[in-house]
Amino acid sequence: MKMVKAETRKTLVLYALLAPTLVLYLLFFVYPVINGLTMGLYKYDIRVPLNYFIFFTPHTSYVGLQNYIFVALDPLFQHALENTLIIMAANSVAQFLIGFGLAWLARKYGKVGDVFLSVALIPIVLSFVSVGLMWTWIYSPSFGLLDSMINYLRINGALRFVGLPTIPVSLTSNPNTMLLSVLLAANWQGIGLYAIIYSAGLRTIPPSIYDSMKIDGLSDLKKITRVIWPMMKETIALALVLVLSSSFKIFDLVYTLTGEGPHISDDVISLYLYRYLKYYEGGQPAAVAFFMLMIGIVLIVVQFRLFRGRSEK
C-alpha cells in the first residue's frame, strides 16, 4: 500500500517537472498547429483583428476544401513544389557525394584531415541571411567574386574556344539559373556538416575491415560501393533525413538571394506561403501549411523507424 503511494508521488513530481514544458509547448506550438489545420477550411482576411478562437469570429466563413483545392491546382504552387523537390533531390545528392567524398579523403590524412574538416565546418556559424547577402554579391555582375574570377582567368574565353557553352553572369537575376545559385550557396554552407557526420560514420567501421580491404587490393571505388556504403547504411539514412527536412522548408536563403523573388516562378513552397501571408489571405497559406505538414509527417515516420531500428540492436 505504501509502495503504491510512493510510486504515485514520484509520478506527481515528474509531472511537476514536465509541467512548464507542456504548458508552453501545448499553448504556443501544438495549439497553433491544430488551429492551422482547421483554418484552411475557412475564408477570412487576417488584417481584421480576429478572435484567436478563429471559429467564433464573424469575419470568417466556412468554405470546406476550397482552399486546399485552389492551392493544389494553382500552377504557381505546383511550380513552387517542383522547385522544392528539385532542391531536396539535388541537396541530397550533393551532400551525400561531396560530403562523403570529403570525409573519405580526410580520413586518409589522419589529424591533418580532421583540421580540414573543422575548417570546412566554419560556414555553419553564418546565418542564411548572411550567406544570402554574401552570395548575392559573389554572383553580382562585373564586380562580384565569381564574375571577376571568370573574367580574370578568361574561363569563358577558353570555353568558347573549345566550343562549350559559357558560364552566364549573375546567376541570381537569370530565372534559368536561380535554382543553381540557391543550390551552390546552400551546399557551400552545408557540406562541412555532412562531411563531419560521414567522417564519424567511417570511424565506426572497425580497422580490421580497412586492413582486409587493403590486402584484397580493392580499388577505392569498389571499397566504397561494395563494403563501406553497405556498412554505413544507418549514417547515410540519418544524413538523408537531415538534408531532406532542412531543404523542404528552405526559406531565408531563397528570400535573401532573390530579394523576395524577382520572378514569382522561382518560388519554393515556403516562399509561396509567405507571399499569401503578406497579402493577407488567411485560408490559402493555411492550406499550403497543411501540405508542408504532410511532408513533415512522412519524415517523422522515416525517422521513428530509423530510431527504432537503432534501439533494437
Cell digits of residue 186: 546552400
- Determine the Cα–Cα distance for residues 128 and 186; give it in Å rounded to an integer: 8
- Determine the Cα–Cα distance for residues 74 and 77; give it in Å rounded to an integer: 5
Per CB under 8 A, the segment of 74-82, 161-169, 221-229, 240-248 that binds other proteins is 240-248
CB within 8 A of 194, min separation 6: which ones?
A: 95, 96, 99, 100, 239, 242, 243
Q: Pick between residue 5 and residue 163 the one whose CB is nearest to other proteins.
A: 5
Q: Pick between residue 179 and residue 198 the one whose CB is nearest to other proteins.
A: 198
Among 125, 165, 208, 312, binds other proteins (CB under 8 A): 125
Check residue 178 for interaction with other proteins (CB under 8 A). no
- The nearest distance, CB 21 to other proteins, in angstroms, is 4
Check residue 256 for interaction with other proteins (CB under 8 A). yes
Find the farthest-apart pair of alpha carbons in the chain and give their distance in angstroms, rounded.
Answer: 91
- The nearest distance, CB 253 to other proteins, in angstroms, is 9
Among 126, 159, 205, 227, binds other proteins (CB under 8 A): 126
- The nearest distance, CB 64 to other proteins, in angstroms, is 19
Check residue 159 for interaction with other proteins (CB under 8 A). no
Check residue 168 for interaction with other proteins (CB under 8 A). no
Check residue 137 for interaction with other proteins (CB under 8 A). yes
Q: Where are the alpha helices (DSSP H) in 28-74?
A: 31-39, 66-73
CB within 8 A of 242, min separation 6: which ones?
A: 194, 197
Check residue 209 for interaction with other proteins (CB under 8 A). no
Check residue 128 for interaction with other proteins (CB under 8 A). yes
Q: Residue 213's closest CA among 230, 237, 234, 196?
A: 230
Cell digits of residue 64: 470546406
